[in-house]
Amino acid sequence: MTAQYIPLDKDLAHRAHAGTSFSPEKRAASELSYHKKTFETLQTELGDFFEQKHADKLRELWTVYLHSHSQVMSPMITGPARFPTARNLKRGNRADHRLQAITEYCANLKKWKRKADKQQAIDNAGGELAVAKTKLEREKTWHITMKAANKIIRGATKSGTIDDEIKGMLLELGIERGVVERICIPDYAGCRGFASYRLTNSNARIKNTALRVTELENREAAKKNGIEPEVFPIEGGAVTYDYAENRINVKHEQKPDRAIRAIIKSHGFRWSRSYSTWTRKMTPAAKFDTYRPISTLTTTTKGTNS
């Protein structure tokens, strides 16, 4: 469903600049125009991802900003006598913070859209495991290609010069022409071909991708075999070892207070919109480190409720 544009309150936009501008009506018109332009830009860039709830949230944030800015004054407008400088500075900072929230929300929408597109591409390719296996094969093939190219270039360098025939052999390996021209030119050390560090990096990528494939296969096996997650109760919630998703999750029945959230974040957990929990990738170090927040959260929460 296409999001519908709802303009800002014109009177509110006028009041927002009445204390800071000699032409509040022009500033109000500019505010309404900028809001509409932002809406249209997001709608164009995000397409169907930009829903009515996003448009409503954008308008809500803008309205909050205008309310906040309506309390800001300028001595040029109100007069300098007995001007509340400190209070006005605080109100100005608050309005700037609300304005920054609009910018951050727009940036987050674009980030969420990229994440959704990436997930859609993974789903279309058959899932994360299929993508990882394809990437692993591609990395292995490229590594073999680089080694074969270096062998051809070394042989040509020993026997004479690198001519069009040698470059044709490199092109037949599947290397792009621009890359072929580049590797046939001596570098600062007089060496041709793919540098040794590129082969080292390629080996590292292959190793990391292979580990990722193994991790995803273990997750698929956990789902297939129905391995149940381990749950460790804490006051007002639970810590869960989700083997199928390879995540450690901390979830409360109600939003915990700031002190509890600080403890959770200090142990490497981050809030996930996808899982709606505080989550962390499951690793041996993460499992070992989680024993401390389990006991700390239980103790702290009990102390808070008592």
For the stretch 92-134, pLDDT in tens is 999 999 999 999 999 999 999 999 999 899 999 999 899 999 9
Q: Are 204 and 194 in contact (CB under 8 A)?
A: no
What's this model's pTM, rounded to 2 decimal places? 0.68
User: Between vectors from CA 11 to CA 6 and to CA 13, what angle results, nearest 5°?
Assistant: 75
Higher pLDDT, 246 or 194: 194
What pLDDT sits at residue 35?
97
Cα separation, 115 vs 246, whole angstroms? 19
C-alpha radius of gyration, the chain, whole number: 29
Please name every residue paired with 281 in a beta bridge, in sequence order, or none if there are none. Answer: 247
Q: Are 136 and 210 in contact (CB under 8 A)?
A: yes
Q: Tell me the CA distances in angstroms from 176 to 143, 170, 171, 224, one per residue in order.
A: 15, 9, 7, 42
For residue 48, give both structure tokens: 């169907």
pLDDT tops 60 at residue 300: no
Sign for the CA dihedral angle at 148, 154, 159, 160 comes to positive
3-class secondary-structure state, position 294: helix
pLDDT tops 60 at residue 182: yes
Average pLDDT score over residue span 293-304 = 54
Q: Which of 24-33, 107-116, 163-172, 291-300 has the lowest mean pLDDT?
A: 291-300
What pLDDT sits at residue 95?
96
What pLDDT sits at residue 93?
95
Q: Are 305 and 237 in contact (CB under 8 A)?
A: no
pLDDT tops 50 at residue 306: no
pLDDT tops 90 at residue 301: no
Cα separation, 280 vs 136, whole angstroms? 25
Average pLDDT score over residue span 213-220 = 84
Instruction: List, for residues 75-85, the tens digit of each pLDDT value.
Output: 888 888 788 89
Q: What are the b/e assignments for 215-231, b being 16+ CB within 10 Å?
A: bbeebeebeeeeeeeee
User: Between vectors from CA 235 to CA 231 and to CA 237, what angle results, nearest 5°?
Assistant: 50
Q: How confident is the model at residue 33 (pLDDT cuts 50, 70, 90)?
A: very high
Cα separation, 109 vs 115, whole angstroms? 10
Across the chain, mean pLDDT equals 88
Q: What is the DSSP letter of 211?
A: H
Q: Which of 128-142, 154-168, 204-218 has the lowest mean pLDDT?
A: 154-168
Instruction: List, for residues 160-170, the tens digit of each pLDDT value.
Output: 788 888 999 99
Q: Which residues contact residue 174 at a Cβ distance below 8 angstroms, ignoring those fewer than 6 apart?
A: 145
What pLDDT sits at residue 298?
58
Cα separation, 10 vs 98, whole angstroms? 19
Q: How confident is the model at residue 266 (pLDDT cuts 50, 70, 90)?
A: confident
For residue 211, give both structure tokens: 């580990």
